[in-house]
Structure 1
Amino acid sequence: MDERQAINAGKAALITLAVICLGALGVLVWEYATTKEVTNTAAVAVLLVSGGLFWAFERMFGAEAPRSLLGRELPTGATAAERAERRRAYAVDALALAISGVVLGIGGFMLGDPDAFGSLGLPGGPVTGAVLGFVALFVISFSLSWLVGEADSRAVEKRLARLEAQV
């Protein structure tokens, strides 16, 4: 099996896994909507096992370059300029997520949910909750994007080095 066939097989496996996950999630949502509780252990197990399978498939067939929120492929090199470009993309993605989280919180607050920004009991009420929520979402999103993106970059570089060594 050449490289293109391996990539296509990996994509097919990931698509199949995504369909199975969505089916299990649909079962769980339907069960919760009808009975207000989740007792379907098999569907929960499928979701948990699929996470491990997804990780395994990514390790076997993955090594795609990291992408920004808008789908732009980021550089994978180890130079300072390429790492800075990736960090800027991670920061923009985290900023967009944090802003959308605060906007959704404001929408919930305007619809009458007094705990839309959490009931932390902080002085300043919802404004403090919104600021803390923004900062927390930004930090968490940036950290996760950085960890995953840098791991993907290293995986791509390793795969390219392995392919060059074969030639």
Structure 2
Amino acid sequence: EMQKKRMSLPANLNLYPNMYEQGEAVPSSPFEQTMSRKERRASMAELGYGKMSSYTKLDKLGEGTYATVFKGKSRLTDTIVALKEIRLEHEEGAPCTAIREVSILKDLKHANIVTLHDIIHTPKSLTLVFEYLEKDLKSYMDDCGGIIALSNVKLFLFQILRGLHYCHKRKVLH
């Protein structure tokens, strides 16, 4: 089942009384304590993140100039994911486009932008683990035979513009 993305805080959110006036921190669990980047990476690796063995390749979805995309399944969360496998050249390493994609996507969290869940680096490839979308806009349009209801056109345009606006607010051009 698809995980719902939260668009905003709920209206009935309960905050601790006088938490802003007293300047006290909200009690935190051990999971919320700050860790260094190295400690956080190590704890995620213990869970299985960053490891190809945590994912099963299912079907090949497509192939581009420097990458192949597979439908996959996460053994960690038991969810369907998209695995974008970028081939690494021995002398060149990761393509600059892949490095740019990772550096941008890791910070973009929005309902209208596909989520990057994990990054797996091996000597031969760099695999980006994305949320899986059953259909993209092109396949939807192909299935409709090019005739789409005006209400759906408005909805798609609204979603595209929301995602684009979010990117632009964060100084990311698309």
Q: TM-score, normalised by structure 2?
A: 0.25
Report the structure, 1 or 2, having the larger helix content: 1
Report the structure, 1 or 2, having the larger strand content: 2
Q: TM-score, normalised by structure 1?
A: 0.26
